[in-house]
Amino acid sequence: MTPNPNENANSSPTSSRALRDWVNEVAALTKPDAIVWCDGSEAEKNRLTKQAVTAGILIELNQQKRPGCYLHRSNPNDVARTEQLTFVCTPNQIDAGPTNNWSEPVETYAKLRGWLDGSMRGRTMYVVPYVMGPLGSPLSKVGVELTDSLYVVLNMRIMTRMGAAALEQLGESADFNRGIHCTLDLNPERRLICHFPQDNTIISVGSGYGGNALLSKKCFALRIASVLGRDEGWLAEHMLILGLQSPEGETTYIAAAFPSACGKTNLAMLTPPAEFKGWKVFTVGDDISWMRVGPDGGLWAVNPENGYFGVAPGTSAKSNLNAMKMVEHDTIFTNVAMTADGDVWWEGMDVPAPDGLLDWQGHPWKKGSTDKAAHPNSRFTTPMRNNPAWSPSADDPCGVPISAIIFGGRRATTVPLVLESMDWAHGVFMGATMGSETTAAASGAVGVLRRDPMAMLPFCGYNMGDYFAHWLKMRGSIKKPPRLFMVNWFRKDAAGNFIWPGYGENLRVLKWMLDRIHGRAGGRETPVGIVPDETELDLKGLDLSKSAARDALAVNPAEWKSELESAGELFEKIGPTMPKELKDRRQAILHSLDGEAPVRQIAAGR
């Protein structure tokens, strides 16, 4: 190929000596044929996309139907995050905690260097500088990923603020996250995703899948950033951020944490029901939130990302109309099915499977086949500005003020439709004990309860007990704390049917939260938190009986005793770092369920 003037680390466009030296060091180890410093320009995107199509990395889709859209088919052994091969490499194992895979740093570095030695011969090493968060924001961080994957480069361009702007923000500083990614030969036996929080470094080898290879995402924005947040006094969370605007023009921002398959993306892009005329929902972020205490003493949040890396199956005009609109153009699809005329298809799209479909591996697919046409974890990567509900506040360097934080899971029983905490520590307890029941698609077993505290169990880069302690400690610096809630859209009746319709109707629950925040609703106290009074939940135009509404909001003491006993097992697993305050809170709620103490004695007050 014709040499590019930037294809030499010594002629790099950065003024950071630390960055230049590091790129030279990695190049000396991996020995690429060329080095390309990515500038993030449109011309570069067009050039690299053309190269990817020529190399068969991307397949051009029907440009009349989906302009700017492409399909990528990954290796069948490389289609999801590999949690069992994901490690936190801290000098002391207790720093990683019992819920993370731990590996000793010196030995791990040595092993990875051995695998990386000469690994990019015959390949190009792309230098991908990027900013997490709005450009110029004091809440933002700079990262640099070195990768041999064109697919990664093009996805990073969508998911982050990538290129020259990142180098400008870095300036001469040495303060950036160092990420090394090499696909090697995609052999699962030589696949590791390793985090070194003490060095602000990530090394991922042997995988090209987004969650393992787009190092800005879970690796930096959560695992490394959670450690930075602990050390610097802020929170890096697996949370969406949305804005709700009432017909009167009052805008309130909410952050929310949900495990997978619990409607997180749908809530972030919610379409208000017909009865809620004049209401608007704005998406600031769909997946990750960085939250700091602002000058006013409140909690302010930015979405560190610049795009969406969403799950395709189950996404439809009914479940998420905005998502369907935003993937109409300038989107990279991964492992979905392809139609005979070059469009995309997946299960749950609410469109019948057309004839002549090719499955996610490129094989002809027959209607009625038990094999999925699209991989269950197939994805779309699309710019956040494609979203019709995109909020310009996503680019605000100050972030947005958070008035409520929601924790949610998929529970058939026990957890009511909505529950508000008594105080901050009670809210942390609710987040620390949240869980979800698996679906058949997720695990092959139905109804198995998995605890996933704050939806961060796979993504916290340090000891989970210390993470809870950090949440409790944050209360001391937040003068105007947000309200903390728990929701459950998935409660079932005696016949096994969902009680609550979900989707856009969830705005009715959010409205009650706003009424609580702004002093317009009283709520009803129970031993486990505050639920709406029957008259406070706006059900106009909804086909839901009063008895069904009562069932959705019910608090059953016997079920909650079992719930708290189960939560105690997680506390025991976390061990000596588990904060005493949360263990005491669990005991206090158990006593209240037994009628041994008034509800208000549980909390010290807001």
pLDDT in tens, 441-495: 444 566 789 999 999 999 999 999 999 999 999 999 999 999 999 999 999 999 9
The DSSP string of 570-599 is HHHHHGGGS-HHHHHHHHHHHHHHTTSS-G
Beta pairing partners, 181: 147, 204
- 424-433 helix and 580-593 helix, angle to the nearest 10 degrees: 90
- Spatial distance between the Cα atoms of 103 and 588, rounded to a whole number of angstroms: 38
* pLDDT score recorded for residue 7: 45
CATH of the domain at 99: 3.40.449.10
Domain annotation covers residue 332: no
- Spatial distance between the Cα atoms of 522 and 420, rounded to a whole number of angstroms: 11
* pLDDT score recorded for residue 261: 79
Domain annotation covers residue 569: yes
* pLDDT score recorded for residue 6: 42
Same domain, 295 and 429: yes
CATH of the domain at 421: 3.90.228.20
Last residue of a domain, one of 187, 208, 232: 232
- Spatial distance between the Cα atoms of 551 and 18, rounded to a whole number of angstroms: 60
Same domain, 141 and 279: no
Same domain, 248 and 179: no
- Whether 419 and 509 have beta carbons less than 8 Å apart is answered as no
Domain annotation covers residue 349: no
Same domain, 213 and 97: yes
- Spatial distance between the Cα atoms of 183 and 408, rounded to a whole number of angstroms: 35
Burial code (b: 16+ CB inside 10 Å, e: under 16) for 542-560 equals bebeeebbebbbbbeeebb
Query: What distance, in Å, lies between the first and last C-alpha atoms of the chain?
Result: 65
Taking phi over 0 as left and psi of -120 to 50 as alpha, with beta for the rest, 594 belongs to alpha
Which segments within 73-176 are labelled E, that is strand?
Answer: 86-88, 124-132, 141-147, 161-162
Same domain, 186 and 278: no
Domain annotation covers residue 544: yes
The answer to whether 262 is a known catalytic residue is yes
Same domain, 195 and 270: no
* pLDDT tens sequence across 288-306: 999 999 999 999 999 999 9
Last residue of a domain, one of 190, 210, 232: 232
Q: Residues in the chain, how many? A: 606
Token pair 């069948």: residue:
76
Domain annotation covers residue 382: no
At residue 429, what are phi and psi to the nearest 5 degrees? Answer: -60, -45
Query: And the tokens for 421?
Result: 């905490």
Integer angstrom CA distances of residue 588 from 527, 528, 602: 9, 10, 6
* pLDDT score recorded for residue 445: 63
* pLDDT score recorded for residue 600: 53
Domain annotation covers residue 374: no
Same domain, 453 and 513: yes
Domain annotation covers residue 270: yes
Same domain, 201 and 269: no
Same domain, 247 and 203: no
Question: Could you say which residues of the chain have pLDDT below 50?
Answer: 1-10, 440-443, 601-606
Domain annotation covers residue 46: yes
* pLDDT score recorded for residue 438: 78
Residue 222 is given by DSSP the state I
* pLDDT score recorded for residue 4: 44
- Of these residues, 38, 182, 262, 460, which one is catalytic? 262
Show the domain range for 441: 237-306+393-601
Same domain, 174 and 278: no
Same domain, 214 and 260: no
- Whether 201 and 194 have beta carbons less than 8 Å apart is answered as no
At residue 520, what are phi and psi to the nearest 5 degrees? Answer: -105, 0
The total domain count for the chain is 2
Same domain, 205 and 241: no
* pLDDT score recorded for residue 439: 65
Last residue of a domain, one of 183, 199, 232: 232
Q: Which helix (H) or strand (E) holds 182?
A: strand 177-182
